[in-house]
């Protein structure tokens, strides 16, 4: 039954799994990520810490080494299961990027090191759940988001055609117009945009007011949709379950009681029947006697 | 019973109806609208795509042709029912506009082509529902919206009379004042407006603060009204129905059980009555005997 | 029994009451208020309508006459009850103001004519209800509003003392500081204020960030409080009442059924007792007989 | 049994406790805090009230004396229990600060006098509750707040690295970038920031749009989380309790009724058994007689 040779390996895997799942291991990883985040932050004060540039390089190498060890341990402990979780892929990619040699002083890969701070999310289980919940709330709202995008796109094509020549700095082409309309949607600087257009087309305020009211209204419905969905899932569901359970319990109690009563009455009926049968027999006997 | 001649036509109509309702037909229409939207968007880069101006004309004609065919098929398949749906009227008008010849280079009709992007809403059933729900949520809020408009209008007349001479650029006439107050309501640039007025009337901040708090408060109540309405309609209504059903079921079960018990006791009473009657008869007989 | 002389007057009062309550009377009043609002709006275009200045005067007199007649009829029809409603006092004051002679061209009283537009709220019953609901939602939020005001006041005193000499245009005295902090709370122009201060006190951003987060957080709780209160009052309250009623009804039905059953069993017990008594008497008689 | 000497002290303590808990004492303290707040506010008008500078000093001393007396009375009345409430510590510290001698004209301690206005919160029980509720709502949202901070920090490190050289006034170092991103999150002046960067990196709008949508989305989920939590705790909880109580009451009523019925039937059964036993005995006797 025992597979020779595989047992010690399995035992090692179990032991590594225990390390990887232990609290101190997880806290250490979180602490290293936080230190890495602080180090990345301090690096931005280039002039103040110019003397420490070499130290940052060393720290960077230490952090990456720790992350590599962490992931190797996790992959060893979890086996193929490790690769079934999207969060683990994120961890893996973010760390592998750090291993790619970057000869140039400034590169996209160096920038992507910043994403390692987001490992705080992938490493803390509660954070994973919250982010998972955020993403799960999106598809239900897909139609309203699409609607918002359709409205913005239509308004952009219309706005570009209407105001292109009046205010090319805001409505020069579709890209610029989309950017302008996103700005208007955040209500930032919209009077500047509107004034620039209204100098030549005094009725242009209609476009802006309708656009702002429409997007605000749809965004509001988006928010309300998310609230209602959250409510439906969470509010009172424990109470509701408790209510249902209590009701069922009470109902069963009543039914049992009623069933007992019915049996009691049944036995009583049987007794009375016997009594009657006896009396009848007596009567018969008496009649015989009396005859 | 079979109407001669009408059957092949009906059969054709049914077949066309099946095409019109088929997934690939709907997906094709959505795809053409999306292509049309992209084409309308690319057209805005006039300088970059100047060489392709003719191509856009051709594409435009192709899109319109497809839409015409689509609508003709739909009208044929649906018959008079087609015209009972407001969304279909929207589709029809938007496409008919495209058929009106526009000799001038730039016209309102050319602008209205942009509205064809909104056919994405009218063609996708789920979108129709969402937009329908948005519009249905408005009438319930009619009073609060009217109240908001009354407050804004009153504030505009008052503001115009108060600040007209101090800041004519913001409060010159009623139209300008309404525009200014809409701007203030979005909190954009309101300190500029207030400062312009407060230079001469230092107490004018009262007007702006009261106006902003009042409109924010009413707008907030508008939002809350929509939330509460949505809640009332959706939250827990399935559970509530389930609750009611369960309760009714349990109640009926109890009543049936009790009814059975009552019948049992009734039969028992009848038995005892018979027993008594028998005994009484016996007693009577005995008395006669004994006499 | 009939009080002489009072009957015709009462009959007249009833008839006037019927007029005042009739739909056409109310619609007419609403229409006149709307016309008055439009007229007040058009008056603001002084230059455009300079030739019509006299017409506006005439219209004004007509509107006021109609309002006077309306209120006289209402007071006659309602009697002392008229003065028990705060909305009626608003109507009365707003109309009486219009009757005060204003010799000067521009006066506060002329400005107050604008408030007549708000009679739309006091005349339409549904509007009264909505506004009443708005005001009733305030006291429940009194503590949170007070808290917000205490925070703003404390921040103003602190801000004035801290930044008074750095940026007197924003923090010169308490009034100016309160205005600045209201502005910062609306997030409008706050970077300008913060930058003006941070030039000399680089740590001043702490003040602004803490103040903005704190006021946003309290304002958010204010909003949530209003939502929760509205929910408590409205969501499911009809259903809840229906639930309670159904439950009570079902309970009563069960209790009645059980009561009937108990009576049945009681009668049965009585019968059995009689039976036993009869049997005992028989037995006694038999024994006597047998003796 | 009576401890000599301690009784009068206890009696005094009880009497002082009664004073401290009396309405007029609490109202007086609130009034003094309000007067102190007004006095602190008036002090900010230094030029206007320069002549009254001495009066403010006197008022300050009077206020502090009253607060010292108030706290001494409270500590005496409450005993060690006084120090178990964090709010009392706040009161104590704020008053003790006022007693520290400040030789210099302007000091941090003088600034902290402003915090005495916040004693309005610690002295009014209802305010304490509201603030307590505000703070209690935070930990439940801890993960979402952390997530928001992680996103802002990551965006800051990334933004600093990306735009540092293009717009050093906004992205010079990490502190500046964090301040800029907080500003962008409030949507204030964000187009200025974006434009400054987009002059050299036209694609930078992606960074700003993604950042704004992400933070708005997380902030929205934060708000919704607070709403849902509040709902869960408060909405319908009284009704729910009433419901549960009513249901339990009704259930108990039913069970009592059923129990009574069962007893009734039990007694009846006993009677019938006796009847049968009697009849059997009779029959036995008869048989003996008949034999």
CATH for A9-123, among 3.10.20.440, 1.20.1330.10, 1.20.1250.20, 1.20.120.350? Answer: 1.20.120.350
Predicted pLDDT of residue A153? 94
D164, D238 contact by CB (below 8 A): no
Q: Does residue D136 register a pLDDT over 70?
A: yes
Angle at A189 between CA A185 and CA A192, to 5 degrees: 120
Closest to D254 (Cβ–Cβ): which among A134, A231, A254?
A254
- Whether C101 has a pLDDT exceeding 80, the answer reads no
Instruction: Report residue B18 CA to chain centroid gap.
Output: 28
For residue C100, which phi and psi values (nearest 5 degrees)? -65, 130
A46, A137, A135: which is closest to A86 by C-alpha? A135
Q: What is the ipTM of this complex?
A: 0.78
Ramachandran assignment for B123, one of left (phi > 0), alpha (psi -120 to 50 degrees), beta (any other): alpha
| Nearest residue to C213 via CA among A259, D269, B232, D134 | D134
- Touching check for B221 and chain C: CB below 8 Å? yes
Please give, rounded to a whole number of angstroms, the shortest distance from the CA of D235 to a CA of chain C: 5
Domains of chain B, by residue range, sit at 9-123, 124-291
CA B74 to chain centre: 24
Question: Could you give the CA distance from residue D190 to residue D159 in angstroms, rounded to a whole number?
Answer: 14
- Predicted confidence (pLDDT) per residue in D172-192, tens digit: 888 899 999 999 999 888 999
Residue B173: count of CB within 10 angstroms of its CB: 18
Query: For residue range B77-111, what is the model confidence (pLDDT) as tens digits?
Result: 988 888 988 889 999 998 888 787 765 555 677 78
Q: In chain C, how many H helices and how many E strands?
A: 13, 0
Residue C8 has pLDDT above 50, yes or no: yes
Q: Is B2 exposed, middle or buried (0-12, 13-18, 19+ CB in 10 A)?
A: exposed
Chain B residue nearest residue C117, CA to CA: B154
User: Which of D254, D260, D274 is the closest to C262 by Cβ?
Assistant: D260
Residue A84 CA to residue A122 CA, distance in Å, equals 14
3-class DSSP state of D186 = coil
- Token look-up 């005349």 returns C123
Query: Minimal Cα distance from D262: which residue of C?
Result: C262
Share of chain C above pLDDT 70, in %: 86
B279 in contact with A, Cβ within 8 Å: yes
Q: What pLDDT is stored for residue A179 in this prediction?
A: 93
> Considering only the top CATH level, what class is B124-291?
mainly alpha
In chain D, % of residues over pLDDT 70: 86
Over residues A152-183, the pLDDT tens digits come to 999 999 999 889 889 889 998 888 999 999 99
Q: What is the pLDDT of residue C102?
A: 64
D145: CB partners within 8 A, 6+ apart: D138, D222
pLDDT score at D212:
93
pLDDT score at A224: 79
Tally of helices (H runs) and strands (E runs) in chain A: 13, 0
Using the Cβ of D37 and the Cβ atoms of chain C, whether some distance falls under 8 Å is answered with yes
Structure tokens at A96: 């592998």
Tell me whether residue C87 is exposed, middle or buried, using C-beta atoms within 10 angstroms of its C-beta: 0 to 12, 13 to 18, 19 or more: middle
How far apart are the two ends of chain D, measured CA to CA in Å?
A: 87
Q: Which of C118, C223, C257 sits opposite B255 (nearest CB)?
A: C257
What residues in D contact A241, CB-CB < 8 Å? none
Rg (CA), chain A: 38
For chain D, give the mean pLDDT.
Answer: 82
Alpha-carbon distance values, B257 to A268, B248, C257, D247, D268 (Å):
18, 14, 11, 20, 21
- Name chain B contacts of A186, Cβ cutoff 8 Å: none
Q: How confident is the model at residue D286 (pLDDT cuts 50, 70, 90)?
A: low
Which chains would you list as touching C if contact means 3+ CB atom pairs under 8 Å?
B, D
* Residues of chain A numbered 160-179 and touching chain B (CB < 8 Å): 160-162, 164, 173-174, 177
Report pLDDT for B236.
Answer: 56
Quote the distance between the C-alpha of residue B161 and its chain's center.
40
């Amino acid at each position: 039954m025992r597979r020779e040779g595989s047992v010690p390996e399995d035992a090692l895997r179990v032991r590594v799994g225990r390390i990887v799942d232990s609290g101190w291991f997880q806290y250490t990883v979180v602490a290293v990520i936080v230190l890495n985040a602080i180090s990345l932050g301090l690096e931005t004060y280039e002039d103040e810490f110019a003397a420490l540039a070499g130290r940052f390089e060393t720290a960077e190498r230490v952090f990456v080494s720790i992350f590599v060890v962490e992931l190797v341990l996790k992959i060893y402990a979890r086996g193929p299961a490790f690769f079934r979780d999207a969060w683990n892929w994120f961890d893996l990619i973010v760390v592998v990027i750090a291993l790619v040699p970057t000869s140039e002083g400034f590169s996209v890969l160096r920038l992507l090191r910043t994403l390692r701070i987001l490992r705080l999310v992938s490493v803390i289980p509660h954070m994973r759940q919250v982010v998972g919940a955020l993403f799960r709330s999106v598809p239900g709202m897909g139609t309203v988001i699409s609607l918002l995008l359709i409205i913005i796109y239509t308004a952009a094509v219309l706005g570009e055609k209407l105001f292109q020549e009046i205010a090319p700095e805001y409505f020069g082409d579709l890209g610029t117009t989309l950017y302008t309309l996103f700005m208007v949607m955040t209500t930032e600087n919209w009077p500047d945009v509107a004034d620039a257009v209204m100098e030549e087309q005094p009725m242009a305020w209609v476009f802006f007011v309708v656009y702002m009211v429409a997007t605000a209204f749809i965004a509001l419905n988006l928010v309300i949709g998310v609230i209602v969905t959250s409510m439906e899932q969470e509010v009172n569901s424990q109470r509701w379950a408790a209510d249902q359970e209590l009701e069922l319990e009470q109902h069963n109690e009543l039914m049992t009681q009623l069933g007992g009563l019915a049996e009691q009455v049944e036995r009583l009926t049987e007794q009375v029947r016997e009594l009657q049968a006896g009396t009848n027999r007596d009567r018969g006997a008496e009649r015989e006697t009396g005859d």
